[in-house]
Amino acid sequence: MEPSAPSRRVTIVDVARHAQVSTTAVSKVLRNAYGASPEMRAKVRRAIDELGYRPHAGARGLRGQTYTIGVMLPDIRNPFFPEILDGITGSLEDTEYQVFLGPGGNGEKAEARVTEAMIDRRMDGIIMIAPVSPRTHLEQVASSVPTVVVGRHGSSPVYDTVVDDDVEGASLIVDHLAGLGHRRIAHIEHRETDPTRRAEMPNARRADGYRQAMRALGLAESIDVVSTSYTQEGGYKGAKELLARPRLPTAVFAGADIVAMGVLEAVAEAGLSVPGDISVAGYDNTTFAALGPISLTSVDQAGHEIGRNAARLLLERIADRRRPSVQVRLSPTLVPRRTTARPPE
Q: Which residues bind DNA (CB under 7 A)?
A: 8-9, 11-13, 21-28, 30-31, 33-37, 39-40, 53, 55-56, 59-60, 62-64
Measure the CA–CA gap between 121 and 123, rounded to whole angstroms: 5
Q: In sequence order, which residues have a C-beta less than 8 Å from that of residue 228 and are 6 or more positions away?
A: 188, 189, 190, 191, 234, 235, 237, 238, 259
What b/e sequence results for 308-344 when a residue is b if at least 16 CB atoms lie within 10 Å of its CB, and e otherwise?
A: bbbbbbbbebeeeeeeebbebeeebebbbbebbbebe
For a second copy, the binding residues in 232-271 under the rule CB under 8 A are 232, 261, 264-265, 268
- With contact defined as beta carbons under 8 Å apart, do 127 and 88 qualify? yes
70 binds a second copy (CB under 8 A): yes
Tell which one of 27, 68, 161, 250 touches a second copy (CB under 8 A).
68
In the chain the first and final C-alpha atoms are separated, in Å, by 75
Smaller CB separation from DNA, 54 or 77: 54
Stretch that binds a second copy, among 21-29, 74-82, 240-248, 307-315 (CB under 8 A): 74-82
CA angle 260, 304, 107 (to 5 degrees): 60
- With contact defined as beta carbons under 8 Å apart, do 124 and 66 qualify? yes
DSSP state of 202: H
Binding mask 137-166 for a second copy (x = CB under 8 A): --x--xxxxxx---------xx--------
CB of 339 to DNA, least distance (A): 54
Smaller CB separation from DNA, 24 or 331: 24
- The binding site for a second copy (CB under 8 A) comprises 1-7, 9, 54-59, 61-62, 66, 68, 70, 73, 76-77, 79, 81-82, 85-86, 89, 98-103, 105, 113-114, 116-117, 119-122, 139, 142-147, 157-158, 232, 261, 264-265, 268, 287-288, 291-294, 317, 321-322, 325
